[in-house]
């Protein structure tokens, strides 16, 4: 059997029924863009360790990130494992592939001055759509989690936010549609206490909203990821702030929380990390200014 024929069947009958739609869509895109053009016409039993390794090296040389290449390796390994399990192939060699080393992305967050600039603009405009940015700055939720939030997830009386859903954009029939499902990981389901000073602004947005979604922008199904990202990029340009991805709001929240003295265990639970070690490894390098201040305080002991 040709590998391309098998991997399409594997996606349809193994991956689609057992994983999130987002995972299936991503695997399908990687299959069409990278796997099928090079390996699709090869017999599945001809995928030797050398051929697979040569394919992976070529992907890296094309400029694909290590994380993307590693996902492609996972697709190869899982699909070939299934092929052996179902008797389609005699053996598989994907587990012999040498993976490229992943480099931890540098945490990028907004400076205190930039954050103040963003917040001042939002509070002056009092546009309910913009309050989603404030919510991310003071809760650390991801963009997909933000746009999946409904008003029923927000308890204004107690100042509690329930995160139990996430969403993403899916390209279907030539248009982007919003797909809502469970969050990234089981630990991403969480209850977040919000700062009380943020609640009046959310109450104001609630009073002006005729949508079930906290961020809707006149969309019955809530705002789409791409449109909200573009709005955020436009906002940064208007404020003459250097471009940073939307995820930088989450990094900014985590950095400010640590600077304020929040313990890592609490921060880890608020961010929805699997354990505090993940939080420490990701944010321990982002506190240079805080470290300098602490060292200078220590230095005050010098005569």
| CATH number of the CATH domain containing 127 | 1.10.443.10
Distance CA 107, CA 63 (A): 21
Q: Considering the domain boundaries, does residue 51 fall inside one? A: yes
Residues 296, 115: Cα–Cα separation, whole Å = 24
**Same domain? 174 vs 233:** yes
Any idea what the CATH number is for the domain that residue 49 is in? 1.10.150.130
In a domain, 154, yes or no: yes
Residue 298 lies in a domain: no
Distance between CA atoms of 231 and 233, rounded to whole angstroms? 5
Determine the average pLDDT of the residues in 7-32: 90
pLDDT at 249 over 70: yes
Q: What is the Cα–Cα distance from 67 to 104, expressed in whole angstroms? A: 10
The range of the structural domain enclosing residue 53 comes to 3-96
Do 150 and 162 contact (CB within 8 A), yes or no?
no
Can you give the pLDDT at residue 116?
97
Confidence of residue 174 (pLDDT cuts 50, 70, 90): low
Structural domain total, the chain = 2
Helices 225-238 and 112-125: angle between axes, nearest 10 degrees: 110
Neighbours of 29 (CB within 10 A): 11
103 confidence band (pLDDT: 50, 70, 90) = low
pLDDT in tens, 120-164: 999 999 888 999 999 999 999 999 999 999 999 999 999 999 999
Checking if the pLDDT of 62 tops 70, the result is yes
> Given this model, what pLDDT does residue 169 score?
81
Answer yes or no: is pLDDT of 287 > 70. no
Residues 82 and 161 in one domain: no
**Averaged confidence pLDDT in the chain:** 90
Higher pLDDT, 238 or 18: 238
Whether 297 is in a domain gets the answer no
Helix count and strand count (H, E) for the chain: 15, 5
Read off the pLDDT of each residue in 255-277 and give the average, rounded to a whole number.
Answer: 91
The answer to pTM > 0.85 is no
Q: Which of 43, 67, 96 is the last residue of a domain?
A: 96
Which of 35, 61, 96 lies at the terminal end of a domain, its last residue? 96
Instruction: Read off the DSSP letter of residue 287.
Output: -
Task: Give the residue from 215, 218, 273 showing the smallest Cα distance to 246.
Answer: 215
Residue 301 domain-assigned (yes or no): no
Query: Which two tokens mark 258?
Result: 């640590």
pLDDT band at 220 (very low <50, low <70, confident <90, very high): low
Among 20, 290, 16, 17, residue whose Cα is nearest residue 166: 20
């Amino acid at each position: 059997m040709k590998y391309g024929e098998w991997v399409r069947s594997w996606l349809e009958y193994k991956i689609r029924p057992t994983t999130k739609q987002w995972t299936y869509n991503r695997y399908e895109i990687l299959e069409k863009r990278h796997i099928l053009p090079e390996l699709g016409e090869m017999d599945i039993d001809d995928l030797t360790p050398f051929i697979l390794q040569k394919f992976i090296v070529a992907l890296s040389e094309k400029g694909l990130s290590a994380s993307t290449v590693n996902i492609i390796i996972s697709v190869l390994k899982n699909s070939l494992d299934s092929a052996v399990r179902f008797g389609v192939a005699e053996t598989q060699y994907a587990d012999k592939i040498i993976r490229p080393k992943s480099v931890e992305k540098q945490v990028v967050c907004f400076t205190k001055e930039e954050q103040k600039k963003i917040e001042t603009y939002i509070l002056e405009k009092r546009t309910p759509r913009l309050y989603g940015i404030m919510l991310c700055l003071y809760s650390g939720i991801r963009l997909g989690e933000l746009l999946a939030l409904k008003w029923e997830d927000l308890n204004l009386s107690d100042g509690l936010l329930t995160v139990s859903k996430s969403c993403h954009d899916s390209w279907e029939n030539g248009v982007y549609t919003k797909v809502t499902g469970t969050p990234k990981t089981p630990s991403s389901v969480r209850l977040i206490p919000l700062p009380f000073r943020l609640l009046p602004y959310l109450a104001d947005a609630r009073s002006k909203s005729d949508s079930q979604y906290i961020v809707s922008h006149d969309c019955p199904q809530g705002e789409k990821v791409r449109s909200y990202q573009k709005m955020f990029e436009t906002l940064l340009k208007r404020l003459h702030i250097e471009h940073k991805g939307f995820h930088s709001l989450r990094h900014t929240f985590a950095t400010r929380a640590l600077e304020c003295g929040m313990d890592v265990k609490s921060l880890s639970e608020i961010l929805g990390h699997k354990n505090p070690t993940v939080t420490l490894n990701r944010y321990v390098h982002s506190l240079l200014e805080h470290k300098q201040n602490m060292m200078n305080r220590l230095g005050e002991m010098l005569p």
